[in-house]
Homo-oligomer: A and B are copies of this chain.
């Protein structure tokens, strides 16, 4: 599908760029540093949506006619707690250890902004990990350095292939972009 908008993806994530390309869209990347904080009282399942809206708001004043900006944020939620990017290897270990032999949720919030429209949505996927030994967790952290990843893991890496036995929901949502929902939304905008 060709879009009648000039699409701008406001994300530094190479995974998101790759997914949007595979969806068949042409776009440019434009990024801003936005502080990824959120109110302490915000429920964990609303955090990704809130941050995607915050990221979009930073572009509001400079959007040109016919531009459409896409922002996204992904968080891992375990036991009602948001697991963001780990601050160090010790925290990465703690995150992964808690998810081993257990399930957790992944939320990606997406905001689409044009000069006169704003659409936000989020998607939830459930991820089931089998048991991971301490040695395997240490190996993963050492070899794959997951410090830039929410919850300290990438589903498309060694740990995802070898230990995730089941997901419920969208796979690409776990990678960082709920592509089916995004496609449907972009398509609906073309019809207006």
| A interface, CB within 8 angstroms of B | 19, 22-24, 130, 155-158, 161-172, 179-181, 183-184
Partner of A162, one of B161, B166, B180: B180
* Contact between chains at A170 and B166 (CB < 8 Å): yes
| A25 vs chain B, min Cβ distance (A) | 10
Tell which of A19, A23, A162 has the most Cβ of chain B within 10 Å.
Answer: A162
Contact B165 A167 (CB under 8 A): no
Asked whether, in the complex, the Cβ of B24 is within 8 Å of the Cβ of A184, the reply is no
Q: Do B167 and A181 touch across chains, with their CB atoms under 8 A apart?
A: no
In the complex, what's the smallest C-beta–C-beta distance from A38 to chain B, in angstroms? 27
Q: Is the CB of B170 within 8 A of A165?
A: yes
Chain B residue with the shortest CB-CB distance to A162:
B183
CB proximity of A190 to chain B, nearest CB, Å: 13
Q: Is the CB of A166 within 8 A of B169?
A: yes
Q: Report how far A170 CA is from B171 CA in the complex, Å.
A: 10
Contacts of A158 in B (CB 8 A): 22-24
**Quick one: which of B23, B157, B167, B184 contacts A171, CB cutoff 8 A?**
B167
Known: A180-B130, A184-B130. A22 touches B161 (CB 8 A): yes
Q: How far is the CB of A87 from chain B (nearest CB, A)?
A: 27
A172 to B171, CA, bound (A): 10
Q: From the candidates B161, B167, B172, B179, name the one contacting A169 in the complex (CB within 8 A).
A: B167
